[in-house]
Chain A
Amino acid sequence: MLLIVCPYCGERPEIEFSYGGEAHLVRPKDPASLGDAEWADYLYARSNPKGVHAERWRHTHGCARFFNALRDTLSDRFLATYRIGEQRPDLA
């Protein structure tokens, strides 16, 4: 079973977690001032990389907290997990 390191609880089985989409997306401060294309871009356009992806996860059946993870979408390996509000770790 794939193990994911929750930043609060430590190493836990994948089935306790749920995926929360791409991380570090910032909601526009004044949506009313955006055009349709810009708003659609915020809502729907995602980076979808082949390789390292910063994404949100939730330890739903554990501490129930959201956190961020860097995962390689090619190998499905988790490279780092970190708390909401913390800087994205530099893997280099």
Chain B
Amino acid sequence: MPPDRAALARLPAASRFILRGKPAAVTAAGNVFGIGLPEQACRAAVAADRAALWLGPDEWLLLAPESEGAELGATLARAMAGAAHSLVDVSHRQIAIEVSGPNAEAMLNAGCPLDLDPGAFPVGMCTRTVLAKAEIVLWRTMPLCFRVEVSRSFAAYVWRLLEGASREFGPQPKRCGE
């Protein structure tokens, strides 16, 4: 059921890797990951249930289903062997929250200073930024849907902040973890 105003949801656990490297390693990683890692700043590339998010000029966040993590890590490391790189499994470092609905932009702007108008922050755009006192990765996955990646230790803070912002727009959203 599409949210009529604004909704918050905790997304399922996922495999996450931070990859840093020069083009040789990055190309090799993209080949086995199934998605060429985006070269354009602040853009995400998606294929099936995997995604690659540009975080910096030599840094990407790779997302995949939780069950694929162990094998994926080994596959990526094998593909990049011999090319200088850094591959860190951060699956359990952060959690993902989905913010959706016609008021999603306003909810996020309660703590995020970016211009989230679709013209300035279109579908497919992603970036590290801040949400009040927390650092987050924000990714617009659909016109009315954002994915927020946040460190585990900041998750409760971010959830409550967004929940507070959402009260302006509608009924109480679901509690984190329910």
Contact partners of A65 in chain B: CB under 8 A: 56-57
Given known pairs A1-B113, A61-B135, A63-B41, the reply for A9 and B127 (CB within 8 Å) is yes
Interface residues of B, count at CB 8 A: 13
23 A-B pairs with CB atoms under 8 Å apart are: A1-B113, A8-B41, A8-B57, A9-B42, A10-B41, A10-B42, A12-B114, A13-B113, A13-B114, A15-B113, A16-B129, A61-B128, A61-B129, A61-B130, A61-B135, A62-B128, A63-B56, A63-B128, A64-B55, A64-B56, A64-B128, A65-B56, A65-B57
The distance in angstroms between the C-alpha atoms of A16 and B42, with both chains bound, is 15
Q: Other CB < 8 Å A-B pairs besides A10-B41, A61-B135, A64-B55, 14 of them?
A: A8-B41, A9-B41, A9-B42, A9-B127, A12-B114, A13-B113, A16-B129, A61-B128, A62-B127, A62-B129, A63-B41, A63-B55, A63-B57, A63-B128
The distance in angstroms between the C-alpha atoms of A13 and B127, with both chains bound, is 13
Q: Digit string of A35-78 for contact with B (CB within 8 Å is 1, else 0)?
A: 00000000000000000000000000111110000000000000
Contact partners of A9 in chain B: CB under 8 A: 41-42, 127
Contact partners of A10 in chain B: CB under 8 A: 41-42
Query: In terms of DSSP, what is the predominant structure of the interface of chain A?
Result: loop
The distance in angstroms between the C-alpha atoms of A18 and B130, with both chains bound, is 13
The distance in angstroms between the C-alpha atoms of A9 and B97, with both chains bound, is 24
Q: Digit string of B57-72 for contact with A (CB within 8 Å is 1, else 0)?
A: 1010000000000000
Binding site for A on B (CB under 8 A): 41-42, 55-57, 59, 113-114, 127-130, 135
Query: In terms of DSSP, what is the predominant structure of the interface of chain B?
Result: strand
**8 nearest CB pairs, A to B:** A63-B56, A13-B113, A61-B130, A61-B135, A8-B41, A64-B56, A8-B57, A9-B41
Interface residues of A, count at CB 8 A: 13
Q: Which A-chain residue is minimally distant from B112 (CB atoms)?
A: A13
Contact partners of B129 in chain A: CB under 8 A: 16, 61-62
The distance in angstroms between the C-alpha atoms of A1 and B42, with both chains bound, is 21
Chain B: minimal CB distance from A28 (Å): 28
Check B56 against A8 for contact (C-beta < 8 Å): yes
The distance in angstroms between the C-alpha atoms of A16 and B84, with both chains bound, is 29
The distance in angstroms between the C-alpha atoms of A1 and B113, with both chains bound, is 9
